[in-house]
Amino acid sequence: MGGRVNEDLIKERRKCTFDIKELTHIIDCGEENTIKRKQIDNYILNIKELWDDVPEEYLSHKERYENAIKKAFIVLKVLRQLHTGNIQITDHRTPTNVYSIQDGIFRNVNPLLIHIGLFWSTIAAQASTEQQAEWLQPDSSMIGTYVQTELGHGSFIRGIETTATYDSTTDEFILHTPRLSAYKWWPGGLGNTANACLVMAQLYINGTCHGLHIFLAQIRDFDTHKPLPGIKVGEIGPKMGFNTADNGFLGFDNHRIPRTNMLMKNVQVLRDGTYVKPKHDKLTYGSMLLTRVTLISDLAYQLSKAATIAVRYSAVRRQSPIKSNEPERQILDFVSQQHKLFITIASSHVYRVVGLWMWNSHKRVTADIHEGNMGQLPELHALACCLKAISSRDASALVEQCRLACGGHGYMMASNLPQIYAYTTAAVTYEGEYTVLLLQTARYLVKFWRLAAEHKPLPQNFAYFEDYIKKNFEQWRNSPEGIIEGFKAIVAGKTKAAYDTLQCNLRNGREFEEAWNMASVQLTNASEYSTISRNDIEALQSRYEELLALIRPNAVGLVDAFDIRDEVLCSTLGAYDGRVYERMMEEASKSPLNEDVVNESFHKYIRPVTMKNKL
Ligand SMILES: CCCCC/C=C\C/C=C\C/C=C\C=C\C(=O)SCCNC(=O)CCNC(=O)[C@H](O)C(C)(C)COP(=O)(O)OP(=O)(O)OC[C@H]1O[C@@H](n2cnc3c(N)ncnc32)[C@H](O)[C@@H]1OP(=O)(O)O
Ligand SMILES: Cc1cc2nc3c(=O)[nH]c(=O)nc-3n(C[C@H](O)[C@H](O)[C@H](O)COP(=O)(O)OP(=O)(O)OC[C@H]3O[C@@H](n4cnc5c(N)ncnc54)[C@H](O)[C@@H]3O)c2cc1C
């Protein structure tokens, strides 16, 4: 759409007091990454076949999938070209990767997301060198997915019922779905797209269960794409979002795979059925750990999209004067609106920085694990659980806040805010449900509180538990250091309260698991523990309002610095030029209900009723 940029946005950009490009480079971790990102954006976004004539909301469930799969294979081809050209596109240090552009191309989810993101990365992390050499071929026929969750079990994966039984006479595993609740249910791309999968199953050798292991299984013929004998596979139906992801179900009827199809980097089953244990019990859960870490950055990016849309719209939208004799004001001038939006910008930066830090920590800990040192794994797991849970919950709440901040127009699909919300809120559940993950972190904290309570030595990271017990916390100070101290006090107080309840339940004769369940609200909820006083809260509130006023002239600059192209934002409300009403009218004209001046239903159903007495 051509035309002038909205006057209010022009003024906002003039008001900005910092160098927008400089912030963009900081977000991208350096100017060279910004340049690379823009090159990839240009390259991919210029592929005409990736753009729709009809907005995808008007397509049927089947058409949506077919349209998405067409695009997915164009993107896959480009990915392979870029990879061959040695362009690193999957480095999550920066948004310099193809994932962010996909948001624009698919306006939803790439049906190959799990193939690209989880299938290959799990093979790379958990398959032996020989297996990798065989499976990780650039021209592989495999289109895979990650198949873990079952109809009956998602959170409690030890309860998974699919079995893989070793048959030493044929040197094969027999994959089997013993009952309805054991059907795999949810995996992305499983419904129609994948011809292979990594399946999580209980390993049985000579009648002994060795727990969960990952197996590579072909499920469809590479040539005809028909399900192999003994495989029942299909799609699970429409969802709140993710409707292009063909999430699927899968059942095995004594399906045989070679022994060498178990992922054997960390654990092995030998030809004679000997089981060689892994160095750490939970290395099999490594893919979940990695995805939880990457999700933090992804959620930061979703927040930056929502903030960009809502802030630009709020600069363009005028509604009601503040003083009665004044013209109507930009809704961005209302302090309550600033409160809704600026926190979203800030949260995006927070999770971007934390996501980057976690990504680097993951790299470091993985390198240690390769050297046989598992020492840092529990802490990384505890952090990943907590941060994935909190970032997804915050992101979905804030995206919804941005949608509401756009009033009625935020309810339109063409604003793209409903789709961003549907995408973001799914992350609260997948890759570990919110409460379940918080309880994993609580388990870690309680362990160290027990040491503190028993006056045993604590690692440096937990020294503040001891400070709390000795009442060494300083009075609240309104400064970054003071805020960190305040958070430490909250964590220590919260952990103490939960630990005390746990101990009390145990003294009352409860078994540990039951006592834990009874304390679980305290284990997950924030508590009142703080060194902050009522006066401090009032001082903080007025400081906060001062800061909102300080940010106000820079609000548009701050979201411009996210540097998200209109083709990726896909929003009538958030485009760079701010021509909101023109875009809304243009989008409305695409509705199939506007194709005929009089819809045929009028003659069939309306007219016979409204004209009845007049005929
Ligand atoms: C790379 C690019 C990626 C791109 C993708 C981007 C976006 C994603 C987009 C779309 C979504 C698509 C996919 C979604 C996929 C999925 O959802 S896959 C399925 C995910 N499922 C889950 O996350 C299940 C959650 N449940 C669990 O993880 C476990 O059941 C749970 C940890 C809750 C409990 O496990 P359990 O075996 O019962 O453990 P225990 O209670 O016996 O013991 C706990 C001890 O184990 C330690 N531990 C647990 N997990 C880990 C781990 N991952 N790593 C290391 N350690 C772990 C834990 O600390 C306990 O230790 P202690 O006993 O206290 O010492
Ligand atoms: C969009 C989407 C994509 C997905 N993609 C995949 C995929 O590609 N591959 C795959 O294998 N799976 C996938 N999943 C499945 C996903 O991983 C599971 O849905 C998720 O792990 C939650 O498990 P659940 O559905 O069994 O929830 P449940 O565990 O049944 O949770 C229901 C409620 O019970 C509570 N609860 C459960 N256990 C406890 C406990 N111990 N203590 C306290 N409360 C508890 C939860 O907090 C929640 O409130 C996907 C899911 C979605 C929504």
Question: How do residues 281-292 score in pLDDT, each as one tens digit?
Answer: 899 999 999 999
Residues 6+ apart with CB under 8 A from 392: 295, 299, 424, 425, 427, 428, 434
Q: Which ligand is nearest to the CA of 186?
A: 2
Q: Which ligand is nearest to the CA of 362?
A: 1
Amino acid, single-letter form, for residue 275: Y
**611 pLDDT exceeds 90?**
no
Instruction: Determine the atom of ligand 1 nearest the C-alpha atom of 289.
Output: 53
Residue 30 assigned to a binding site = no
Residue identifier of the C-alpha nearest atom 44 of ligand 1: 440
Instruction: Tell whether ligand 1 has an atom less than 6 A from the beta carbon of residue 572.
Output: no
**What pLDDT sits at residue 39?**
87
130, part of any domain: no
pLDDT tens figures, 283-335: 999 999 999 999 999 999 999 999 999 999 999 999 998 888 899 999 999 99
Q: Are strands 172-176 and 275-276 parallel, antiparallel or unpaired?
A: unpaired
How far out from the chain centre does Cα 304 lie?
14
256 with 298, same domain: the answer is no
417 with 312, same domain: the answer is yes
Last residue of a domain, one of 426, 456, 486: 426
545, part of any domain: no
Tell me the C-alpha distance between 231 and 190, whole Å: 12
Q: Which residue has the higher pLDDT, 341 or 531?
A: 341
Instruction: Tell whether ligand 1 has an atom less than 6 A from the beta carbon of residue 114.
Output: yes
| Residue 613 binned pLDDT confidence (cut-offs 50, 70, 90) | low
Tell me the C-alpha distance between 27 and 18, whole Å: 14
Residue identifier of the C-alpha nearest atom 51 of ligand 1: 282
Instruction: Determine the atom of ligand 2 nearest the C-alpha atom of 153.
Output: 26
| Residue 525 binned pLDDT confidence (cut-offs 50, 70, 90) | low
411 with 317, same domain: the answer is yes
Which of 522, 483, 525, 529 has the alpha carbon at shortest distance from 503?
522
Q: Cβ(579)–Cβ(3) under 8 Å?
A: yes
The runs of H, that is alpha helices, within 317-376 are: 335-370
Catalytic residue among 431, 454, 513, 595: 431
Question: Which of 105-119, 379-393, 522-536 reaches the highest mean pLDDT?
Answer: 379-393
400 with 475, same domain: the answer is no
Instruction: Tell whether ligand 1 has an atom less than 6 A from the beta carbon of residue 157.
Output: yes
Instruction: Tell whether ligand 1 has an atom less than 6 A from the beta carbon of residue 365.
Output: no
Structure-block tokens of residue 615: 């005929």
416 with 344, same domain: the answer is yes
Helix/strand/coil for 168 = coil
Instruction: Determine the atom of ligand 1 nearest the C-alpha atom of 148.
Output: 19
**What pLDDT sits at residue 489?**
86
Structure-block tokens of residue 174: 């027999």
Reply yes or no on whether 485 is catalytic. no
**182 pLDDT exceeds 70?**
yes
Tell me the C-alpha distance between 240 and 247, whole Å: 12
pLDDT tens figures, 82-123: 766 555 555 544 444 556 778 889 988 999 999 988 999 999
Q: Cβ(541)–Cβ(533) under 8 Å?
A: no
Q: Cβ(108)–Cβ(72) under 8 Å?
A: no
136, part of any domain: no
267 with 308, same domain: the answer is no
Which of 296, 277, 301, 263 has the alpha carbon at shortest distance from 120?
263
Last residue of a domain, one of 530, 563, 597: 530
CA 157 – ligand 2 centroid, Å? 10
**What pLDDT sits at residue 93?**
45
Tell me the C-alpha distance between 68 and 64, whole Å: 6
CA 430 – ligand 1 centroid, Å? 10
Residues 6+ apart with CB under 8 A from 339: 548
441 with 502, same domain: the answer is yes
298 with 396, same domain: the answer is yes
Tell me the C-alpha distance between 146 and 52, whole Å: 29
What average pLDDT does this structure show over 63-67? 96
**364 pLDDT exceeds 50?**
yes
Q: What is the per-residue DSSP string for 44-87? A: HHT-GGGS-SS-GGGS-HHHHHHHHHHHHHHHHHHHHHHHHTT-
Question: Which of 42-51, 133-142, 339-348 reaches the highest mean pLDDT?
Answer: 339-348
CA 329 – ligand 2 centroid, Å? 45
Domain that holds residue 48: 7-110+286-426
Structure-block tokens of residue 260: 């060498």
Tell me the C-alpha distance between 424 and 435, whole Å: 16
Residue that has been written with the tokens 């590579």 in this structure: 216
413, part of any domain: yes
Q: Are strands 146-147 and 196-205 parallel, antiparallel or unpaired?
A: parallel
CB-based burial, 291-318: b 16+ in 10 Å, e otherwise: bbbbbbbbbbbbbbbbbbbbbbbbbbbe
Tell me the C-alpha distance between 248 and 164, whole Å: 20
Instruction: Tell whether ligand 1 has an atom less than 6 A from the beta carbon of residue 561.
Output: no
Helix/strand/coil for 376 = coil
Q: Which residues line ligand 2 (CB under 6 A)?
A: 114, 146-149, 154-155, 186-188, 242, 247, 426, 429-433, 435-436, 439, 520
What length does the chain have?
A: 615
261 with 157, same domain: the answer is yes
pLDDT tens figures, 125-169: 999 999 999 999 888 999 999 999 999 999 999 999 999 999 999
CATH of the domain at 292: 1.20.140.10
Q: Burial, 500: exposed, middle or buried (Cβ in 10 Å; 0-12, 13-18, 19+)?
A: middle
574, part of any domain: no
548, part of any domain: no
Q: Cβ(115)–Cβ(142) under 8 Å?
A: no
Tell me the C-alpha distance between 313 and 588, whole Å: 18
292 with 422, same domain: the answer is yes
Residues 6+ apart with CB under 8 A from 378: 444
CB atoms within 10 A of CB 44: 21
Residues 6+ apart with CB under 8 A from 71: 49, 50, 105, 106, 110
Q: What is the share, in percent, of the chain residues with pLDDT greater than 70?
A: 95
How far is residue 93 from each of residues 32, 121, 272, 294, 479, measured CA to CA in Å?
13, 16, 44, 10, 29
CA 432 – ligand 1 centroid, Å? 6
Q: Which residue has the higher pLDDT, 417 or 89?
A: 417
186, part of any domain: yes
557, part of any domain: no
The least confident of 173-187, 509-523, 574-588 is 509-523
Instruction: Tell whether ligand 1 has an atom less than 6 A from the beta carbon of residue 431.
Output: yes
**What pLDDT sits at residue 556?**
98
**What pLDDT sits at residue 533?**
76
Tell me the C-alpha distance between 460 and 469, whole Å: 15
CA 430 – ligand 2 centroid, Å? 6
ipTM of the complex: 0.98
Residues 6+ apart with CB under 8 A from 558: 23, 311, 345, 551
CA 364 – ligand 1 centroid, Å? 19
CA 436 – ligand 2 centroid, Å? 9
Residue that has been written with the tokens 């698991």 in this structure: 513
* Percent of the chain that is helix, strand, coil (3-state, to 5): 55, 10, 35
377 with 508, same domain: the answer is no
Ligand 1, from 99, 115, 291, 369: best to mutate by most atoms within 8 Å of Cβ?
291
Ligand 1, from 285, 296, 435: best to mutate by most atoms within 8 Å of Cβ?
285
Instruction: Tell whether ligand 1 has an atom less than 6 A from the beta carbon of residue 187.
Output: no
Tell me the C-alpha distance between 280 and 584, whole Å: 55
If one counts the domains in the chain, the total is 3
Structure-block tokens of residue 172: 């094969």
Ligand 2, from 153, 155, 423: best to mutate by most atoms within 8 Å of Cβ?
155
152 with 274, same domain: the answer is yes
